[in-house]
Amino acid sequence: MPSPRHPRSLRPHLPDVRPLDRFRTLKIKMVIVVVASVTLAAFITWWGLRNSLGPTRTFPLAIIISMGFTMLLAKGMTSPLREMTAAAQAMSEGDYSRRVQATSRDEVGQLATAFNIMAEDLESSDQVRRELIANVSHELRTPVAALHAQLENLVDGVVEPTPATMQTALTQTERLTRLITYLLDLSRIEAGAADLNLTRLGAADFLEDTVNSVSTLEAGKQLSFLVDVEPTDLTFVADPERLRQILVNLLQNAIRHSPFAGEVSVHARAADGAVVFDVTDHGPGIAVADRQRIFERFARGAGNAQVALTSSGGTGIGLAIVRWAVDLHGGTVEVADTQDGATMRVTLPQPADDDADADAEGASGTPFGTPDDDGSPAHPA
């Protein structure tokens, strides 16, 4: 595919002089240009007549010099507009790196500043689009290739259709299903379509059920799981499906980055009008510089401390979905400070005791949009 060609910008011979950038409005600049041009023409006329050049030479000279002076100032005033035209033409060919020199404070300068902000947003959106295509292509290729090879061996009789063989094929199809579900959740984030069904839940039973649903993943690591609830009869109000989605994403990341025979723990406790969930692993941890960025879509960590998001087949979407689901509850999600491994902390505010029953019974809905159409359960990160 040929690289985009950018049209050559017009480059008048006059220099790009901008002595009027200090003025705040275009009207004042126009008045200054007109007054300065008329004054210059009058001075040249007076000078020419005083030096006996005569009207036939003085008037054309005054007109030419005044026009040149006006064009010089006008070029500096309209230079951002020409730069915006060239940048817009480059954007139409896929180059979002062009910026406009915004030095004035008038309407044209404000337009140039807004144009640069728009160009940065478009460049960022284009980068996200490219990363989405790259990530999804990579994630699709691996399970599809493995599933194709497995089925081809079965058809050719190389391997027998044993339970282990079928389990391998099932694992690949489950990975494809998770990726598709990620993309569906991502589309809901973009559309703002979400709804909450608030229910009073028992922390111990809910966490045990959630941990059991993911404990079979990465069974070869021989991980142990710990659920700790304080107090033991702790209850809270939340949307069970969204909360399960949050915890399973975090547990998937913890499992992925835990060492062999390691431990993954989930702690829940009440704290000042809120309920706090900590999901802890003893893996390489998360670099301090990455602790905010990992919750962005398609984030990729760097350095020795790997971000618990992308290795071993992470898509860079899971933690963005976690933050979205936590935001629906009005809560927060963060990486807590720990000496060993990584601890993902989710804090969900709780209604007052007088309002809790009413919230749990009927109140559903948020200002974000329409309810989900499939009520899909939790999805790993």
pLDDT score for 355: 53
Do 207 and 185 lie in one domain? The reply is no
Contacts for 16 with CB less than 8 Å, ≥ 6 apart: 75, 76, 79
pLDDT tens, position by position, 224-251:
999 999 999 999 999 998 899 899 889 9
Q: Both 175 and 213 in a single domain?
A: no
* 3/160: higher pLDDT: 160
Q: Is residue 379 part of a domain?
A: no
pLDDT of 219 reads 62
Q: 264-291: buried (b, 16+ CB within 10 Å) or exposed (e) per residue? A: bbbbbebeeebbbbbbbbbbbbbbeebb
Q: What is the pLDDT of residue 379?
A: 39
CATH code, domain with 175 = 1.10.287.130
Is residue 139 a contact partner of residue 179, using CB atoms and an 8 Å limit?
yes
Across residues 174-200, what is the average pLDDT? Answer: 75
Q: Say if residue 228 is exposed, middle or buried (CB neighbours under 10 Å; 0-12, 13-18, 19+).
A: middle
Q: Are residues 214 and 168 in the same domain?
A: no
Q: Are residues 186 and 236 in the same domain?
A: no
Q: Is 363 exposed, middle or buried (0-12, 13-18, 19+ CB in 10 A)?
A: middle
Domain that holds residue 185: 127-191
Q: Are residues 115 and 40 in the same domain?
A: yes
Same domain, yes or no: 93 and 145:
no
Whether 372 is in a domain gets the answer no
Tell whether 78 and 153 lie within a shared domain. Answer: no
Virtual CA dihedral for 125, 130, 131, 133, nearest 10 degrees?
A: 120
- 238 and 205, same structural domain? yes
- Quick check: is 355 in a domain? yes
Give the number of domains in the chain. 3
pLDDT for 369 beyond 50 = no
Residues 134 and 113 in one domain: no
Same domain? For 289 and 216 the reply is yes
Q: Domain boundary at 122, 154, 173, which?
A: 122
Q: Are residues 132 and 110 in the same domain?
A: no
CA–CA separation, 126 and 73 (whole Å):
37
Q: Which residue has the tokens 């079928």?
A: 166
Question: CATH number of the domain that 287 lies in?
Answer: 3.30.565.10
- The model's confidence at residue 311, banded by pLDDT at 50, 70 and 90, is very low
CB hemisphere CA count around 220 (13 angstroms):
1
pLDDT digits 0-9 by tens, 245-267: 899 889 988 888 889 889 999 99
The confidence score (pLDDT) of residue 266 equals 96
- For position 269, what pLDDT does the model report? 95
Domain limit, last residue, from 158, 191, 224: 191
Gap between the Cα atoms of 347 and 210, Å rounded: 17
Any domain includes 174 = yes
Domain boundary among 96, 122, 148: 122
Residues 111 and 143 in one domain: no
User: Has residue 10 got a pLDDT over 60?
Assistant: no
C-alpha span between 220 and 244 (Å, rounded) = 24
- pLDDT at position 380, please? 38
The answer to whether residue 59 sits within a structural domain is yes
Q: What does the mean pLDDT of the chain come to?
A: 77
Please check the confidence at residue 348 and state whether its pLDDT lies above 90.
yes
